[in-house]
Structure 1
Amino acid sequence: MQVNINGIETRYVLSNEGGGPWLTFIHQLGGDLSVWDQLAGYFRDDYTVLRYDVRGHGKTAASGAPFSIADLSHDLVTLLDALDAPSTHLVGMSMGGMIAQQFTLDHPARVDSLTIADSSAGTPPEARATWDQRAAAARRDGMASLVPATLSRWLTPDFQAAHPEAVEQIRDVLTHTLSEGYAMACEALRDFDVRSKLGAIRCPTLTVAGRHDTGTPPASTQAIADAIEGARFELLDAAHLAPIEQPHRFAALLETFLERPV
């Protein structure tokens, strides 16, 4: 379904067979809501599951001007308002984890619990150039130029060999991401930094990292847990897209967490 959010036509999928509490999944840079297909199917009988395409990704239009992670947080609250969702459990992966952190800081009363996978709370100065380089490559050479290196960071060789169909879907979404949407998102990630604010988060929090994640080392995700009182950290045998490589293990962790949040 499509809805206009802050002037941007935004695609979302709502699965509410169970009519239970809201559970919102936020995808990674260069992804779309389809990355959550398997996990959404797992939880839809007990939760009202929301997935959406972040601006400039999937079938959501690109922004006409540069934007920040705070703007993406505002997109989410506007979407939740449009759907009459009073609050939600939040699950964000990579870029989605950054949006989830920002949203929790911006709208603490709207967050029932926070789950962050393979993410960080800010870009250190020495890494800012990397985001500029990716943005420039997307604009200059198109998304196809970024696909090989991105997939090698996202998924382990073993997973790629064992699950070619899943890899092809992820590759196709990445390839067809709008170049300008991707580039502006890179610049938003470059400027994101909430490290000094994480102590203000009071909701139950679970963080999950992939042991083989070279793009966002597990220590970055663990640092989020360390900064939030009572937060829990888990390590999975995966690369950057840990919930996708280890969906059963991730689902089990999330299910237990949602039933008995710390």
Structure 2
Amino acid sequence: MGQHVRAGELEIWTEQVGSGPDVLLIGGLGDTVESWQFQLDGLADRYRLTAFDNRGAGRTAMPGGPVSVAAMADDAAGVLRALGVPAAHVAGFSGGSIIAQELALRHPELVRSLVLQSTWSVPDPYLRSWGRFVRWLVGAAPGEREFLEWFFLFIYTPRAHNDGTVSRFVDEVLAFPYPQPAENVQRHLDAFLRHETTDRLPRIAVPTYVLAGGLDVTARPELCRAVADLIPGARFQVLEEESHQPFQEAPEQWNALVDAFWRELDAPDAPNPG
């Protein structure tokens, strides 16, 4: 069962399952706890996993004033402190990976390691134009179903569209009782598109694993590789047949990869990072 926890000015919706080393999962644009369901189900036998709804998504309200990645990173830190988690392995995807980077920079004592899926340090012109297109689309689409069907063309592989996976995801989103207002999607996009960590990433001193989808046309492998090159000692891997969200399309493969990474770090003879 989930609960709201107080983090600064916000009551943030969180869910925590499992037992073992702590893991914090940070979702991307408009994504809620449910976006991590394959991980909450598949890894809870080995980890204590915490997921939460970002500000302005799901069951967490959007406060007034500007939205920034720094504020969302502080929200994530507040969740860990409110739940009494001293430090965690942190995994984030897309916009959530940007929040995870900022969390490691602003609150390094809370982060044991990073898994960054479909990430970037600064949007290049292509990604910036795509973000502006999505910003327009969320307001211009004739309905939520149409928006999701068109938006998901960029997020999931043709395989997932053709085998019915995307259709199921659309139905699940439409049935969710806490839809995200278009304005909140746009405010999140604005925050992600203006944020940059390029000059600060070399300060990250925890083990980092950067994953890219070979078929991802948004956070493309070259953007992910640039992040890995900037973080000392970071690992980089391309999942050639996957797109933006392989943790949903190929959860068993994705879970196995990050589980192996975390197990290595949690081994008794693992070196002390940093």
TM-score (ref. length: structure 2): 0.87
Q: CA deviation at 1:170?
A: 4.8
In structure 2, what residue type is equivalent to 1:8?
L
Flag the 1:125–1:59 CA change in 2: closer, same or farther, 3 A.
Answer: same
CA distance in 1, matches of 2:130, 2:8: 29
Q: CA deviation at 1:123?
A: 1.9
Greater shift, 223-232 or 97-106, is seen at 223-232
DSSP 3-state at the match of 1:186: helix
CA distance in 1, matches of 2:187, 2:235: 32
In structure 2, what residue type is equivalent to 1:11?
W
Give the corresponding residue for 1:6: 8
Flag the 1:179–1:99 CA change in 2: closer, same or farther, 3 A.
Answer: same
Q: CA deviation at 1:168?
A: 3.2
In structure 2, what residue type is equivalent to 1:181?
N
Q: Assess if the C-alpha contact under 8 Å between 1:21 and 1:88 holds in 2.
A: yes
1:1-262 aligned within 5 A: 1-16=3-18, 18=19, 20-124=20-124, 127-139=127-139, 144=144, 146-162=147-163, 163=165, 164-170=167-173, 176-236=179-239, 237-261=241-265
CA distance in 2, matches of 1:193, 1:45: 36
In structure 1, what residue type is equivalent to 2:65?
A
CA distance in 2, matches of 1:242, 1:166: 14
CA distance in 1, matches of 2:16, 2:62: 22
Flag the 1:107–1:158 CA change in 2: closer, same or farther, 3 A.
Answer: same
In structure 2, what residue type is equivalent to 1:121?
S
Q: CA deviation at 1:9?
A: 2.8
Instruction: Provide Cα deviations, 1:124-182, integer angstroms capped at 9, x if missing partner.
Output: 35654543453354356587253233100111121122224245325666x93221221
Identical residues among aligned pairs (%): 26
* Structure 1 gap segments, 5+ residues each: none
* Structure 2 gap segments, 5+ residues each: none
Flag the 1:143–1:216 CA change in 2: closer, same or farther, 3 A.
Answer: farther
Instruction: Provide Cα deviations, 1:49-101, integer angstroms capped at 9, x if missing partner.
Output: 10001111112112212111001001111111111111010000101100000
Across the two proteins, how many residue pairs are aligned to each other? 260
TM-score (ref. length: structure 1): 0.91
